[in-house]
Amino acid sequence: MLLFGPPMGTILFLWVTRTSPVTTLGVLYAFLLLLFPWGSFLSWRQQNRGGLPVFAMVGLVYWWWFAVGMFWLNRTGRRIVDTESIDDAISMALVGVLCLGIGMRVRMTPLPPSRHLELDDKETTWHYIRFVLVTGTLVSLVPGANNLLGPDGWHIMAIVSSTVPTVALLLLLRKCLTDKGSTFDRSLLWAYFPVRIVGGLASGWVGSVIGVGFICGVMYFLVRRKIPLTMVALVVAGALFLQAGKKEFRDSYWQQGEAGGILDRATSWLNGSASKWLQALNSTGKDSTGELSSESLERTSLLPQVSHVLAVTPSQIPFQGAQTYSYMAIALIPRFVWPDKPSVNEANRYYQLVFGLSTSRTVNGVNIGAGCLAEAYIGFGWPGVICIMFAIGIILGIYERSFLARDSSTLFLAIGVALLPGILGIESQMSAYLGGVIQTVFLTMLVFLPVLRRRSGKVRTTLATPRIVSVMPQLRVRGGR
């Protein structure tokens, strides 16, 4: 019951409340796509491996981006509406998740926890961390801050103003959650959160707003070993609420170039979303609540894109080979070495043009990603899906054992949590998904280098590997008792 009950109950609820036709085969795929990460989570919890169950988290994200839309998305007027294409997309997600899980079981750890650098536990260290948090946050609020080093230093400034202060935030939050933080530290955190949220709203990115709640919830779980259900509910509700007004906000401030301060932009987004939801609640027509909910849900679903890819490849559009993966190699080259190198978004734009989602005139104003899974199929078909998802699994296994293991150093743990929203962002194609990770880790380590030391003594290394459904023997033993 513990293994099969929650997935069956969830799928049954989705089936009863469905708004689109589904097949028995599609329902089975959706059930299995939820069963594997759920079984992996149960295994991780029973074995008490510590850290985070990365496979379970990534698998759950794939289930959300594929299975939920199969039941709830309104397919009227879509490019692909037939259930056969929908079932094919769900089956591809299932195969991809299984290959990813197998890849994560490959025991490869280039930098085990025993070789990690650790924070030097002195008061001057925490003064430095507070300084990094405040400075990085203030820099991120300066208009055009990412261009302070010129076009060649855009990526460096993005890391310094985003990832680096996030790591400092997580270090201070962990200190407070372990009851070692001072009153000043707690006051600093309470002042940081509204500033970060307002800045995220002004940027026009949903992830910048809800990301802070997500990573703080993850750190809370790592320290207290409890899921912050209130935080989870707020993050989900916030994401759905903000999606309603995102398009209008971007049209005004991104496309039309309207001027406005940080507070004006943040207020504009909140008011726009609130207005659309109020109109939906008071209307039964096109802007009804169901229509608006489906529109918000569509922005967290890969089902339409992947279904379209499967329907036209290779019958109408041939396999593209390694065309989009060339941007992955380009991403590893620093911009100061190659000032005019293409953006990581070029892979998305290439996909939009080839599959007719955008024209050459509109492609720069719209960013539509198909995700690593569809990109693998676009390049090489089903062999590409199997091999590339397996390779991604190996990389995620290295990430889990290096940054999110039980014995990871405090700094590596904070870096791992800061990288987690990107790891769960499966809608990105490979160049954006993994292209800048190495540079981000290296530069973050460089910023904190003045307060680091080598770990002393022997550290027990825990090799965390995902177990797909290994929880079943334990359940049988418990049931027999």
pLDDT at residue number 127: 93
Mean pLDDT for the stretch of residues 445-452 = 91
- pLDDT tens track for 198-249: 888 888 777 778 888 899 999 999 998 888 888 888 888 888 788 878 878 8
243 Cβ contact list (under 8 Å, min separation 6): 206, 273, 295, 296, 299, 300
Assess whether pLDDT exceeds 90 at residue 172.
yes
Quick check: 382 pLDDT over 80? yes
Residue 469: pLDDT band with limits 50, 70, 90: very low
pLDDT digits 0-9 by tens, 63-72: 999 999 889 8
Residue 242 corresponds to which tokens in the numbers above?
A: 């903000």
Judge whether residue 45 has pLDDT over 60: yes
Q: How confident is residue 477, by pLDDT bands cut at 50, 70 and 90? A: very low
pLDDT > 90 fraction of the chain, expressed in percent and rounded: 33
The mean predicted confidence, pLDDT, of the chain is 82
Per-residue pLDDT averaged across 436-455, rounded?
87
pLDDT in tens, 181-196: 889 999 999 999 888 8
Whether 30 shows a pLDDT value over 80: the answer reads yes
Write out pLDDT tens, residues 278-304: 877 776 554 456 666 666 677 788 888
At residue 336, the pLDDT reads 59
| Per-residue model confidence (pLDDT) at position 252 | 80
**pLDDT of 81 strictly over 80:** no
And the tokens for 475?
Answer: 């359940």
CA 14 – CA 46 distance, rounded (Å): 28
Residue 473: what pLDDT? 43
The two three-digit tokens of residue 154, written as one number: 């855009």
Question: Which two structure tokens, joined as six digits, stand for 215?
Answer: 């990573």
Place of tokens 């009227």: 76
Contact 427, 302 (CB under 8 A): yes
Residue 18, pLDDT above cutoff 50: yes
